[in-house]
Chains A and B, each alone.
Chain A
Amino acid sequence: GENVEQHPSTLSVQEGDSAVIKCTYSDSASNYFPWYKQELGKRPQLIIDIRSNVGEKKDQRIAVTLNKTAKHFSLHITETQPEDSAVYFCAANLNSGYALNFGKGTSLLVTP
């Protein structure tokens, strides 16, 4: 079936460094790509999303890029801080609709 692959599964960076998480998807009809952050013991929360009519979107220290031809999208976090430590999930919508397919998640650890 349609799926979303996410890499790496774990990522450790030092405070102030950048972190990059990459995802690929297989559904050609996908046109909405959200990223969710889930802190330990808490619910997933949307941090940024991108739609297929743009190639890049930025919100302060986080940015997402999309390459529709290659079916790749990536999350970039700059100037990482310890509070960025969490599990990050990428997702792609199924068949241009409202149901989402999620990646397996990336556990990001930012060490002081």
Chain B
Amino acid sequence: ETGVTQTPRHLVMGMTNKKSLKCEQHLGHNAMYWYKQSAKKPLELMFVYSLEERVENNSVPSRFSPECPNSSHLFLHLHTLQPEDSALYLCASSQVAAVRSYNEQFFGPGTRLTVL
């Protein structure tokens, strides 16, 4: 596998379920991101792990919990979600040299999540 991969590609869950989304990058990058993509809304940055720090969007509800065990793997743990959480969840990675630096972000194919 090359690039950024995500599993599962599709997920249907009830509001009481607990599930996890997985992302893996094979690019040797040191930063990983979770985005939420809803219809007619901007790509919304949820969490970033980079340079041993975690940055989070304060508007993301606590029912979303990220985990980054190493620089190649990123998880998004889901529990007691709401129907409005149905969206495409995209993972991305990039190479970051310093806090005040930037580089191309490479996206995974996304997980299409439906909450019933």
Contacts and interface: CB of A to CB of B under 8 A. Distances in A.
B104 A99 contact: no
Q: Which of A3, A43, A102 has the most CB of B within 10 A?
A: A43
B100 A43 contact: no
A98 B102 CA distance: 4
A100 interface: yes
Given A98-B94, A99-B48, A104 B42 contact: yes
A100 B105 contact: yes
Interface residues of B, number: 26
Nearest to B102: A32
Contact of A97 (B99, B108, B109): B99
A104 B41 contact: yes
Given A97-B99, A98-B96, A99-B55, A46 B105 contact: yes
Contact of A101 (B45, B55, B96, B108): B45
Given A96-B100, A97-B102, A98-B101, A44 B107 contact: yes
A103 B105 contact: no
A96 B4 CA distance: 25
Given A97-B99, A97-B101, A43 B43 contact: no
Given A32-B102, A49-B104, A93-B102, A102 B43 contact: yes
Nearest to A4: B42
B42 A105 contact: yes
Interface string B37-56: 00011111100101000010
A101 B42 CA distance: 8
A98 B103 contact: yes
Contacts of B55: 99
Given A98-B31, A99-B55, A105-B42, A43 B103 contact: no
Interface of A: 3-4, 6, 9, 31-32, 34, 36, 42-46, 49, 89, 91, 93, 95-105
